[in-house]
């Protein structure tokens, strides 16, 4: 993926410190079986009897799937006083620190824009493999997994260095029923330099995850750990850490693993799709992220594909119920953030053309074209080749019965690939992520940007339909929107 390969160097640049000197161990050049290779690597790390570890220093997360530019130059969050504890017996992990200044990929919003906020993330026992993968790609987790899961080993020379390449598969299977693979590269000093694996993802299909370890140091008691860690997902650098301290089998593990704040409550699953008629041939579909189904003479256009495969399927089913015997020709992706792109594969499986902003065309196209052997979703089963078209500034979908205008939203900080849809005959504006604030909260600058684009394009609408339904759930009017900007509340 051309753009995805341009990983964010800014993430690594957030962290620079003098790290402890590298410790080198004598190499064992003899060919060995996997069990011996794993045992030697555990011994080299001082981890033969390790069941838990805590390490600390500085960290940073890339805002994966939510950045203004979706595929490179990711916005990032530095984590001061970063600490991570892992209990391999459960397995479970907890990360803590002080996040500056924006939320990481798994965090909540800061208490005030640009202000530090507590970072406390728990991966509890019992999570899926994809959610726990970061535990198993650590050097210690990888070796424990290899020791327990019939690992194999082969020798491979890379840039003049001969590595023992160890491969194993966990007992858990992917949603498709296929096994996962975890591959570790052990250098002549018996240190793990890289671990790679693939996990299912609704946008990327088989998402490649690579974690790199370097500058191993002695932290006392025989424990050796990397002082530099970086991870990339589909070529985008999403996590880095500089390790200053590490302890094996910490005596205060229970305290380290106990969150100091309540765990976030998962949102309830989306309800069944429901709908309301906004105009002849125009239906607002609710029950999750809001979509519009718009009838043309011989086909249907759906605005917004949903936040998941399940939601995409529900929207398709409701659309077919409302407008039977007409194919869905287009699905419009308002923007490529993962929560707005995760339902697209379901539409592509049915032969619909995905329309997305031209800034995200290559990203969406290549993502949907990627192998999907682990996901096992409707697109994987359909064997169809997805079709994606880009909208450059403006696209008009029109026949003798209906017109939809798709417009690029210029100057938006939230996403540089945002589309809004306008139905001139029905005077309906459809947007995503331009939400009214909670009572007492300031209006997002994004709404002012939206109004500027509306005025620039001279869009005359009466109803503003939003992907994220407001409370109370109703389309806003143009007067409502202008009042928000005027009042600042």
Q: Residue 101 has what pLDDT?
A: 61
Please, what is the average pLDDT of the chain? 88
Residue boundaries of the structural domains of the chain: 9-256, 274-487
Task: Give mean pLDDT, residues 61-72.
Answer: 88
Query: Residue 12: which of 80, 81, 58, 67 has the closest Cα?
Result: 58
Digit-coded pLDDT (tens) for 92-115:
999 999 998 654 333 344 445 567
- Within 13 A of 305's CA, how many CA atoms are on the CB side? 33
Q: Residue 425 has what pLDDT?
A: 96
- Backbone φ/ψ region at 90: left (φ over 0), alpha (ψ -120 to 50), beta: alpha
Task: Write down the residue that tokens 């970072």 correspond to.
Answer: 119
Q: Three-state SS for 480? A: helix
Sign, CA dihedral 379-380-384-388, equals positive
Query: Residue 408: which of 347, 335, 341 has the closest Cα?
Result: 335
Q: Residue 439 has what pLDDT?
A: 72
- Residues 308, 378 contacting (CB under 8 angstroms): no
User: For residues 270 and 1, what is the distance between their CA atoms, to the nearest angstrom?
Assistant: 32
Global model pTM greater than 0.85: yes
- Residues 23, 187 contacting (CB under 8 angstroms): no
343: which 2 tokens?
A: 């339902």
- pLDDT bin (cut points 50, 70, 90) of residue 487 is low
Tell me whether strands 161-168 and 152-158 are parallel, antiparallel or unpaired.
antiparallel
pLDDT over 90 (residue 120): yes
User: For residues 91 and 257, what is the distance between their CA atoms, to the nearest angstrom?
Assistant: 11
Rounded alpha-carbon distances, angstroms, from residue 278 to 225, 229, 314, 369: 61, 53, 19, 35
Tell me whether strands 394-398 and 192-201 are parallel, antiparallel or unpaired.
unpaired
430: which 2 tokens?
A: 């459809």
128: which 2 tokens?
A: 């899926």
163-166: long-range contacts, CB 8 A cutoff, minimum separation 24: 163/187, 163/193, 164/32, 164/37, 166/34, 166/37, 166/38, 166/142
pLDDT over 70 (residue 385): yes
- Describe the strand order of the beta sheet including 328-332 as a list of residue ranges: 274-279, 282-286, 291-295, 300-303, 328-332, 353-357, 387-391
Q: Length of the chain, please?
A: 489
CATH of 9-256, one of 3.90.870.10, 3.20.20.10, 3.40.50.300, 2.50.20.10: 2.50.20.10
Digit-coded pLDDT (tens) for 164-212:
999 999 999 999 999 999 999 999 999 999 999 999 999 999 999 999 9
- pLDDT bin (cut points 50, 70, 90) of residue 421 is very high
In words, the CATH class of domain 274-487 is alpha beta
pLDDT over 70 (residue 309): yes
Q: Residue 260 has what pLDDT?
A: 85
The 8-class DSSP code of residue 133 comes to H
Identify the H or E element spanning 380. helix 378-382
């Amino acid at each position: 993926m051309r753009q995805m390969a341009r990983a964010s160097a800014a993430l690594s640049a957030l962290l620079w410190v003098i790290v402890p000197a590298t410790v080198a161990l004598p190499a064992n050049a003899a060919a060995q079986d996997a069990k011996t290779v794993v045992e030697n690597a555990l011994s080299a790390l001082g981890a033969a009897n390790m069941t838990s570890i805590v390490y600390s220093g500085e960290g940073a997360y890339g805002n994966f799937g939510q950045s203004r530019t979706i595929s490179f130059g990711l916005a990032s969050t530095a984590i001061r006083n970063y600490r991570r504890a892992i209990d391999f017996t459960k397995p479970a992990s907890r990360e803590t620190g002080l996040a500056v200044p924006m939320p990481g990929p798994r965090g909540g919003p800061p208490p005030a824009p640009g202000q530090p906020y507590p970072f406390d993330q728990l991966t509890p026992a019992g999570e899926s493999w994809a959610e726990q993968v970061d535990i198993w790609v650590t050097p210690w987790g990888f070796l424990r997994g290899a020791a327990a899961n019939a690992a194999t080993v082969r020798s491979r020379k890379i840039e003049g260095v001969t590595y023992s390449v160890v491969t194993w598969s966990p007992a858990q299977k992917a949603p498709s029923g296929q096994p996962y693979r975890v591959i570790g590269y052990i250098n002549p000093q018996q240190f793990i330099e890289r671990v790679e694996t693939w996990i299912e993802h609704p946008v990327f299909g088989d998402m490649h995850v690579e974690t790199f370890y370097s500058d191993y140091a002695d932290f006392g008691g025989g424990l050796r750990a990397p002082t530099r860690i970086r991870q990339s997902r589909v070529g985008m650098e999403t996590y880095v850490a500089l390790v200053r301290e590490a302890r094996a089998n910490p005596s205060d593990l229970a305290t380290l693993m106990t969150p100091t704040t309540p765990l976030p409550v998962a949102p309830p699953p989306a309800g069944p799709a429901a709908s309301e008629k906004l105009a002849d041939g125009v239906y607002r579909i609710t029950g999750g992220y809001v979509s519009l189904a718009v009838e043309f003479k011989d086909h249907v256009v759906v605005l917004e594909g949903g936040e998941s495969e399940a939601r995409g399927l529900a929207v398709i089913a409701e659309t077919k119920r409302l407008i039977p015997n007409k194919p869905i020709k287009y699905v419009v992706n308002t923007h490529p953030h993962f929560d707005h792109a995760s339902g697209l594969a379901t539409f592509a499986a049915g032969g619909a053309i995905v329309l997305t902003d031209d800034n995200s065309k290559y990203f969406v196209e290549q993502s949907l074209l990627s192998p999907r052997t682990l996901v096992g979703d409707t697109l994987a089963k359909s064997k169809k080749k997805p079709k994606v078209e880009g909208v450059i500034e403006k696209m008009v979908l029109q026949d003798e019965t209906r017109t939809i205008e798709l417009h690029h939203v210029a100057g938006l900080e939230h996403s540089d690939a945002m589309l809004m849809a306008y139905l001139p005959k029905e005077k309906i504006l459809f947007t995503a992520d331009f939400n009214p604030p909670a009572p007492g909260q300031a209006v997002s600058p994004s709404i002012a940007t939206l109004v500027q684009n509306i005025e620039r394009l001279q869009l005359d609408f009466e109803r503003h339909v939003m992907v994220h339904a407001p409370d109370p759930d109703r389309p806003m009017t143009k007067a409502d929107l202008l009042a928000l900007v005027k009042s600042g509340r």
